[in-house]
């Protein structure tokens, strides 16, 4: 669905407390979380404005978001 919020807490609500904890304790995790959420916000904004970029650029943004999401998820799994 276009414009859907894929923020890290929305994607992994079961890890809400751990996300907050790691964001406060792990600078690299906090930076990657910030990048992920900014990328998601950018994608959502573009989708709501009918994607004023070409499909290849949008695909790259979504690919980058997915790579970050996978990395963050694995780090959450390891930390629990």
Query: Helices 16-25 and 27-48, interaxial angle, to 10°?
Result: 120
Nearest one of 47, 23, 24 to 35, comparing CA atoms: 23
The predicted pLDDT at position 11 comes to 94
Confidence of residue 66 (pLDDT cuts 50, 70, 90): very high
Q: What is the per-residue pLDDT across 13-41, written as a single tens digit (0 to 9) for each?
A: 999 999 999 999 999 999 999 999 999 99
pLDDT higher than 60, residue 1: no
Between the alpha carbon of residue 29 and those of residues 49, 78, 79, the distances in Å are 30, 12, 11
Residue spans of the domains in the chain: they are: 8-79
């Amino acid at each position: 669905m276009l414009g859907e919020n894929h923020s890290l807490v929305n994607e992994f609500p079961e890890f809400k407390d751990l996300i907050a904890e790691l964001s406060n304790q792990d600078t690299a995790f906090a930076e990657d979380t910030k990048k992920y959420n900014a990328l998601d916000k950018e994608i959502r904004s573009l989708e709501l404005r009918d994607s004023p970029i070409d499909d290849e650029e949008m695909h790259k943004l979504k690919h980058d978001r997915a790579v970050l999401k996978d990395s963050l998820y694995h780090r959450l799994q390891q930390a629990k």
